[in-house]
Chains A and B, each alone.
Chain A
Amino acid sequence: MIIRIDELSDVPIYQQIRNQIVMGISDGSLAAGEQLPTVRSLAVEIGINTMTVSKAYQLLKTEGYIMTDRKNGARVRSRIEQQGSISEMNKTELKRIVSEARLSGVPRQEILDLVTQYYGD
């Protein structure tokens, strides 16, 4: 799975890493139990501080997407706890995206199609 980091984006780098790993788990690019690179390796690959990657992994661990231990490093959780609801923060984000789309004249069906596509079967 490829992740794209934009250093000039308003979104902090650790958040970009976290978001893309979550999307990867969701669309199946990252399988359950799959090994993630070590903090140091990923930092070298992207050319960023190890603390930034560590922060992203810590966040993913807290949110229950990955598990980490000293022996095996970071892995995608085999079973991700399903809360069955969208968080308030994500609702606000979704509202912003839908609002921007409506103001840009994007038809409702197109947004629904995109949601269907991203949600998957």
Chain B
Amino acid sequence: MSNLFFGITMFICIVPTIWIMFFYLYPKKWTERKLVYGLNNRKEFSEDGIKDEVDAIAQKNRRRALLIALACTAISVMLLFLHGMFLQTFIWMSFLFIAIFAINIPYLLGHKEMMTVKKSLGLTQEKGVSYADLKTAGNVHAMKTVPVLLPNLAGLLIVGLLLLADLGVIRFKAYAPGSYFGTILGGTMFLVGILITVCAYFLDRLKNDVISTDSDINANYNRAKKKNWADVFVAFLWLNVAYMLVMAIAVLISYSNLLVTGFLLLYLILMMAGIAVFVSKGRKIEERYQKETTVITDDDEYWLGGMIYCNPKDRRLMVEKRAGIGGTVNIGHPVGKVLGIVCVILLLNVFGSLIWVGLIEATPISLRAENGALICHQLKDEYVITPDMIDSMDLCDDIYEHSFMRKNGVGMDTLLKGDFIVDGKNGCKVFLAPREDVYIHVVTKDGTNYYVSSATADETRAVYESVQ
């Protein structure tokens, strides 16, 4: 079940992203856009003779991108039928990076061709020239405090409720106080909200574009763009609060996998829908103001491949993206260089973590008896339950009747390992192959519950008998 859920989650993340990128990067009517393949859409491109050439470049690469988007969709459908946690995670994550890279290939090719067209027209770059509108500088903002504050306050209330439940001030039947599982979960989601708020304010304070000698046009254009950003961020904040609320209900009142996973899927779908609306609105704003653009800041050559901004002379760390949504880092800036290296390390870390997950899944758990002690071992983890610790020990075969909520450790279809809340009871140590129904339930004298098994039911029975 969790395999299928993971597949659907990745499908919802990848397929809409690919199609949103397709419609955003490869417009049918390039003349209405501010940028063509990462280059400023100049009036010269629409002149007789040149227009056909640019048209050909745009349509050729659009067709290529369409084929790639269709292929990615088809592959994603096929990947839904994958089995095995490691195989599934590794292939989906690799495919995520491959698909995003692939959909950008026609864009990079188009960018190269457009640079050639620009050079052939003798449109040399005005290096080092920038414009600023004294009337809009620092004055155009769309982010209001109250709409951002309200969802954050709502989130804080939910975290407060979870904390009170953890402290035992408010009691819920399905929740054991003192585990801080709910508070950590809610707090994490609350921090996500704070991160969204920081991003929102950061984007609201980005440099205003100068597209006209008329300050009113500049002000309206930048306000429209920032309003679009503000709206999508506020929507994301409320979506985050809704997710927190559902998680709080699940944790405090009744934990239901169906409710949690179902809402997570809905959350992802709504998020993708929000991005699609944002992109569509952004496109309309660009089309509306393209007709009124009279000033072009020609910084095309600082955009590597039309995507990565590298201008050591620009003091700004963050600039608005050319290909995509939001802001991007100026890698010519000293801090930008550090952030670039950090991103590469994080990317390598993702694949390192995947290999670690693969090792965990591929290594069978072992349970053995040694001098009356139970020893559970897998990779670096080892639990030792000595005879003097044991208060009671039973061989059980009702694993499916219990609910296991992971606090920390591993929670796979084939392996449960670490600290868990079992049937609402806090402080349980679990070391199980959940597909095998048989396990040993040990209660130690200090009150800790151990749920342990070996890789197979027969091995578990044999260990139980030898300890008895």
B134:A8 contact, CB within 8 angstroms: no
**CB-nearest residue of chain A relative to B205?**
A44
B132:A2 contact, CB within 8 angstroms: yes
Question: 1/0 per position for B252-269, CB-CB distance to A under 8 A?
Answer: 000000000000000000
Identify which of A1, A8, A40 contacts B215 (C-beta below 8 A). A1
Point out the residues of chain A lying under 8 angstroms from B313, CB to CB. 7, 47
- List residues 2-54 of chain A with CB under 8 A from any CB of chain B: 2-9, 21, 24, 30, 36-38, 40-49
B138:A44 contact, CB within 8 angstroms: yes
Identify which of A5, A6, A30 contacts B132 (C-beta below 8 A). A5
Q: What is the minimal beta-carbon distance from B199 to any residue of chain A, in angstroms?
A: 17
Q: What is the minimal beta-carbon distance from A108 to any residue of chain B, in angstroms?
A: 31
Size band of the interface chain B makes with A:
20 to 34
A45 in contact with B128 given A1-B215, A2-B210, A7-B313 (CB within 8 Å): no
**CB-nearest residue of chain A relative to B215?**
A1
Q: What is the minimal beta-carbon distance from A113 to any residue of chain B, in angstroms?
A: 23
Number of A-B contacts (CB under 8 A): 73
B129:A42 contact, CB within 8 angstroms: no
> How far does the alpha carbon of A5 sit from the alpha carbon of B129 in the complex, in Å?
5
A48 in contact with B315 given A24-B134, A36-B134, A38-B138 (CB within 8 Å): yes
Point out the residues of chain B lying under 8 angstroms from A46, CB to CB. 130, 132
Q: What is the minimal beta-carbon distance from B330 to any residue of chain A, in angstroms?
A: 9
Q: What is the minimal beta-carbon distance from A63 to any residue of chain B, in angstroms?
A: 17
Q: What is the minimal beta-carbon distance from B321 to any residue of chain A, in angstroms?
A: 16
**CB-nearest residue of chain A relative to B297?**
A4
> How far does the alpha carbon of A68 sit from the alpha carbon of B207 in the complex, in Å?
23
Point out the residues of chain A lying under 8 angstroms from B215, CB to CB. 1-2
> How far does the alpha carbon of A45 sit from the alpha carbon of B140 in the complex, in Å?
12
| Cβ-based interface call for B131 (8 A) | yes
Point out the residues of chain B lying under 8 angstroms from A21, CB to CB. 134
| Cβ-based interface call for B32 (8 A) | no
**CB-nearest residue of chain B relative to A21?**
B134
**CB-nearest residue of chain B relative to A39?**
B138
Q: What is the minimal beta-carbon distance from B105 to any residue of chain A, in angstroms?
A: 31
A-B contact sample (4 more), CB < 8 A, given A37-B139, A44-B205: A44-B137, A45-B207, A45-B208, A47-B207
On B, residues with C-beta under 8 Å from A are 126-135, 137-139, 205, 207-208, 210, 213, 215, 295, 311, 313-316
Closest A-B pairs by Cβ, 7 of them: A41-B138, A7-B128, A37-B137, A45-B132, A8-B128, A47-B314, A45-B137
List 21 interface pairs A-B (beta carbons < 8 Å), by A numbering: A1-B134, A2-B134, A2-B213, A2-B295, A3-B132, A3-B134, A4-B130, A6-B129, A7-B129, A7-B130, A9-B128, A37-B134, A41-B138, A41-B139, A44-B137, A45-B137, A46-B132, A47-B315, A47-B316, A48-B315, A49-B315
